[in-house]
Amino acid sequence: MASHPLIERIRIYLDPGAAEPLSRQVSAWIWREVVEGGLPSGERLPTVREMAIGLEVSPRSVERAYRELERMGVAATRPGEGTFISLSPPPEEERARRRAFAEICREAVERSRELGFNVDELLDEIRDWRSPS
């Protein structure tokens, strides 16, 4: 079955081996797209089934992600119609700031992998660094 066009457009990449649950990874990707202006308010998300098939995850993970987005005020489900983005993106200044931060994070992950460390080890190092000695 072909993937839903939205899934292809926003290029959601998940790491099944990460400590972060798949549902959180899905909701984080969608949140990021809203913040960066890639998903406008009113856009319909794929059905739970479409998203699960497209991302090759369980429908339960997608249901949890959609519920989390609803709790955050990012999405709203309309019975019989679907789940829609309900939050407008922040001003351009905030989007630019978040893009710059995302780039720093991507660079840190890439550099860590080049050195033979995985994302969980990078996160552990960050937690250790910020913890009081």
State the CATH number of the domain containing residue 51.
1.10.10.10
Tens of pLDDT, residue by residue, the chain (133 residues): 456 777 777 777 888 888 889 999 999 999 988 888 888 889 999 999 999 999 999 999 999 999 999 988 899 999 999 999 997 656 677 777 778 888 898 899 999 999 999 988 988 888 888 655 5
Boundary of a domain, candidates 70, 85, 100: 85
CA distance 132 to 107: 25
User: At 54, which helix (H) or strand (E)?
Assistant: helix 48-55
CB atoms within 10 A of CB 57: 19
Residues 101, 76 share a domain: no
CA distance 125 to 129: 6
Residues 44, 20 share a domain: yes
pLDDT at residue number 81? 94
- Is 0.85 surpassed by the pTM of this model? no
Give the domain range for residue 117. 92-130
Residues 77, 12 share a domain: yes
Residues 70, 25 share a domain: yes
Contact 10, 53 (CB under 8 A): no
Got the DSSP string for 85-115?
E--PPPPHHHHHHHHHHHHHHHHHHHHHHHT
Per-residue pLDDT tens digits for 78-98: 999 999 999 765 667 777 777
Q: How many domains are contained in the chain?
A: 2
Residues 19, 62 share a domain: yes
